[in-house]
Chain A
Amino acid sequence: MKRIGGVIEGLIVLAIGAYANALVVFGDYWRFLNPKFKWLTGATAAMLLLTGTLALFNPNKRFKVSRILIFLLFLRIFSIGVTGSLSFGNFLSGFSHKEKTEESSRVTLNGLEYVKINLVELHLLSEKADSEKTAGRYLVRGIVRRTPELDGVGQFALMRVSVFCCLADAVATGFRVRYDRPEEFTDGQWVEVYGTVERLPQKLPEPHLHTQGMLLTILYDPQLLVPDKILPIGEPQIPFMFDFRTQEPYAY
């Protein structure tokens, strides 16, 4: 019996190593952790596979039933979590692991040049700007979020999820966008906004945005996006923001 318990514990370590390895190799990793840690999880998975194999053939007689039960529960949780697509209000659905191809860091629209940048990067840039108006024109993308409070002041929120380490610390962040006809867009619709950044003259009422499963949903007040053009787009292959750069080319 003691031997069987030790063998089960070895199998559990092996299974965790195999699951972690599969996530790194087959791409579902992106749903849970920032891709920059892929190497770390891969190395851990390899060590767990080695450790589990050794533990399997040299079973520890001091196994504990409680930890076997908890880890069996965890493996069940794992099987639920890794199957099917997630949808945090469309933030995660259709998420794939295709690598980004090298693209130009600027685009031209109607004769004007725009710097491609993500919402967190634009916030960091705007925070550092001395003037009332952040110099330059920018292209950002995100999900339209509407609330009665925002509609009432002729705005909608442009939001994306940023992940620093893992899904547990994911935060939905974004800007208010000045737009007189917000009803033209539906809540959850992906758009790209070409425009400039201004500072709001006074604090506006809290729009009470909430994103399911997110620790926080934050609007970068008092910054405001003033659009030259808004275009509907499909959901990007990588909807999360994982990378935040302080100079061009931005992660976008």
Chain B
Amino acid sequence: MDQNLRVFCSTIIAIFLEASPFLFLGSLLSALVELYLPEDKIQRVLPKGRLLGLAYGLFAGMLIPTCECGVVSIVRRFLKRGVPPHVAITYMLSAPVINPLVLAATYVAFQGNIWMVLGRVSLVAACAVSLGWATSGINPALLLRQKEEDSFFVHTPSACGDSIEPGASDTGFGPGLASGCYSPGRQDVGLTQVFVRTASEFLDMGKYVILGGIVVASLKISLSQDVLLLFQENVFLSVGALMLLAILVSVCSEADAFVAAAFSTFPAAARLSFVAIGPMVDLKLIFMYAAVFKKRVVLALVLVPSAVVYLLSILLGMILR
């Protein structure tokens, strides 16, 4: 069998297997939120002020650590449950980096260089807060694709507010967003339904990991490293080149610092930009964003972090020179 085909298949399998624990965890959390967490409870827990909400979203990853593969699924459910976008979007962008596992991995990969850890956190936080702030006050329904109709439980007209029925469809949004008659977060839903919902969510998000994996694997067997090395001397070009590489190769946020550290001939600013952009924008994430959010939101989720990371990395590169 053709060696390239085998490398191609092995890379896709590796990406999916690596993502699957986080994908499953994200799907399970998403199902639990959908079935057990009513909107009023969420509203009680979340802070009222915008700044506090942003801080909440920024550091929630320390309590609910997840990687970029699982977080989109969770945030989709959060938004449907009426979690304010400035909390949900900030959490979505920051949690894959601002969590104990990734911070420790970054520290180890860069051989105890605390500035690389702080730099990574700062760049990601700047992007997450910017987009969180920009989406503040917007109705969550306006961010999500209207086509989304995957809610597993739905209100039955005959018993408004009292009965839910599996397998039907509604708008997919929480009570503040839909008719007001639908009552999500039922406490009497069995564990079986949680797992059935988890399976559905796992397949729904998993297909984008596979699609992203196919593109990544194709690039890996066709990309020439020599092209990349042409840019290593110039900070403007090297930052752009490593950012593009991070987006194209979609390395998990827990491993990307080790890959970045291997680019020892590139400026520190370029390596920093690699570990900052990857967990917020990569090929499989773009597929996931496109499935969950409206086009304008997807564009913002891709362009804003790219611009912010590029500019701040260049700035840091010039300061550190």
Contact = CB atoms under 8 A, between A and B. Distances in A.
A95 B82 CA distance: 50
A74 B203 CA distance: 12
Interface stretch (B125-133, B255-263, B311-319): B255-263
Nearest to A221: B265
Given A32-B10, A50-B195, A169-B259, A87 B17 contact: no
B88 interface: no
Nearest to A54: B195
Given A74-B210, A171-B259, A215-B220, A13 B199 contact: yes
B263 A216 contact: yes
A16 B17 CA distance: 9
B230 to A, nearest CB: 10
A150 B226 CA distance: 16
Contacts of A71: 203, 206-207, 210
Given A62-B150, A77-B13, A215-B220, A67 B258 contact: no
A1 B224 CA distance: 47
A17 to B, nearest CB: 9
A216 B251 CA distance: 13
B11 A213 contact: yes
A61 B165 CA distance: 12
A164 B255 contact: yes
A202 B265 CA distance: 14
Chain A, interface size category, equals: 35 or more
Given A13-B202, A168-B11, A80 B1 contact: yes
A237 interface: no
B6 A81 contact: yes
B32 interface: no
Main secondary structure of the interface of A (DSSP, over half): helix
A33 B226 contact: no
Interface in A1-22: 2, 9-10, 12-13, 16, 20
A55 B195 CA distance: 7
B254 interface: yes
A166 B111 contact: no
In the complex, which range does the number of interface residues on chain B fall in? 35 or more
Interface in B172-219: 192-193, 195-200, 202-204, 206-207, 210-211, 216
B264 A220 contact: yes
Contacts of B6: 80-81, 84, 86
A201 to B, nearest CB: 17
Given A32-B17, A41-B20, A44-B21, A168 B220 contact: yes
Given A74-B210, A84-B1, A206-B229, A168 B251 contact: yes
Contacts of A200: none
A86 to B, nearest CB: 6
A128 B206 CA distance: 42
B211 A70 contact: yes
Contacts of B1: 80, 84
B203 A44 contact: no
Contacts of A2: 167
Interface in A145-170: 164-169
Interface in B1-35: 1, 3-7, 9-18, 20-21, 24, 28
A124 B264 CA distance: 12
B262 A41 contact: no
B264 A88 contact: no
A127 B264 CA distance: 11
A40 B21 contact: yes
B163 interface: no
A81 B195 contact: no
A82 B21 CA distance: 19
A169 B16 contact: no
Contact of A80 (B5, B17, B28, B262): B5
Contacts of B7: 86, 88, 212-213
Interface of A: 2, 9-10, 12-13, 16, 20, 23, 31-33, 37, 40-41, 43-44, 47-48, 50-52, 54-55, 58, 60-64, 66-67, 70-71, 73-74, 77-78, 80-82, 84, 86-88, 124, 127-128, 164-169, 171, 173, 206, 208, 210, 212-218, 220-221
Given A81-B12, A164-B109, 18 more contacts: A12-B203, A13-B199, A33-B18, A40-B21, A41-B20, A44-B20, A55-B195, A60-B200, A61-B168, A62-B152, A62-B200, A67-B203, A81-B9, A164-B258, A164-B259, A168-B14, A168-B15, A169-B258
